[in-house]
Amino acid sequence: MKRDSEQNFPLGKIKMTEQEVDRRAQLSRAPRPRIASTIVLTIGDKTNPKILMGQRSKRHDFMPSVYVFPGGRVDRADSYAKYAGDLSPRTERILEAAYTPRKSRAIVLAAVRETWEETRLLLGKSVNEGVRNLNHPSYDAFRKAGLHPDISGIEVFGRAITPPHRHKRFDAWFFHKHLGDIQPPKIEDSAELLNVGWFTFDDIENLERQRATTMMLGVLKDYLSHNRPPKDIFQSKAIRGEMRASRFPEIN
């Protein structure tokens, strides 16, 4: 296992394909990225786990048919939902380098909510007090189960901002939570994700993936090899028309 200060993820320029360069040239103005979050849930051996993924419907106009982790954009309700647990000091520090405390929690809550929407897995804790009804179907599922969405044990490990050649762009934060050495929790397909399941790294090699997912799987492997979470995270974004990999936040 590595010490927490060691980093192995690739940094520097990320080569764009000719098709990506052509697409960017055809856009008069790149759309502004929308904030989104993704969570990688693992079970079993933490260094060689099974990972929850599913296949996006071919009807999606953004990344159709590829395998992804549960996730999606941050909704307004995520800023007002009651929750259980607290963000880890590390994740809190990293997110608050970019956003307010409320927005930081909302980004994590969005990942928990999207997990329910896309896989029917509730990441929640029982509560004695009444759960506020936000008139949001996903948070209503937590309320009916007597649960608050649980944000404890969730660590941020990456950030990927969609390149400017895409017609939809996201500022996507990647989180990890290890559920333990347990039997796979019950999951179901949804309108968002099909063929949901628990996959090993070897299994995933045979699945159709988008480049960002493949890149983040490599970052995840490095992250899981540490005996404690690294102080910073991997980040990919476009700088002056070029894709760059860097660390966030930068440590002086």
Question: What was the pLDDT predicted at 184?
Answer: 94
* 237 occurs within a structural domain: no
Q: Domain range spanning residue 197?
A: 31-208
Give the model's pLDDT for residue 1. 47
What CA–CA distances, in Å, run from 141 to 87, 112, 150? 22, 12, 14
- Return the CATH number at 166: 3.90.79.10
Q: Specify the pLDDT at position 216.
A: 94
Q: Residue 55 falls within a domain, yes or no?
A: yes
**Residue 229 domain-assigned (yes or no):** no
Q: Tell me, what's the pLDDT at 25?
A: 55
Residue 79: the pLDDT is 94
Interior angle at CA 227, CA 84 and CA 220, nearest 5: 75
Domain count, the chain: 1
pLDDT of the residue at 209: 94
| Beta pairing partners, 52 | 198
**Residue 239 falls inside a structural domain:** no
Cβ contacts of residue 72 below 8 Å, gap of 6+? 36, 37, 110, 114, 117, 118, 192
Q: What is the pLDDT of residues 202-247, one digit of tens each?
A: 999 999 998 889 999 999 999 999 888 999 999 988 766 677 888 9
Q: How far apart are CA 56 and CA 41, in angstroms?
A: 17
> Could you read off the pLDDT of 88-114 as tens digits, one per residue?
999 999 999 999 999 999 999 999 999
pLDDT on residue 181: 93
Secondary structure of residue 142 in the 3-state scheme? helix
**Could you list the pLDDT tens digit for every one of the 252 residues in the chain?**
454 545 565 555 555 555 555 555 555 566 788 999 999 999 999 889 999 999 998 776 667 789 999 999 999 999 999 899 999 999 999 999 999 999 999 999 999 999 999 999 999 999 776 555 556 788 989 988 989 999 999 999 999 998 876 677 899 999 999 999 999 999 999 999 999 999 999 999 999 998 889 999 999 999 999 888 999 999 988 766 677 888 999 754
Is residue 77 included in any domain, yes or no? yes
**Structure tokens given for 224:** 């899981």
Asked whether residue 56 is domain-assigned, the answer is yes
Query: Which residue in the block uniquely carries the two structure tokens 């989104």?
Result: 36
Is 240 part of a structural domain of the chain? no
245 within some domain? no
Count of CB atoms within 10 A of residue 160's CB?
Answer: 25
**CA 204 vs CA 49, 97, 134, 200, 209: distances in Å:** 12, 32, 37, 6, 8
The label of the residue with tokens 């051996």 reads: 45
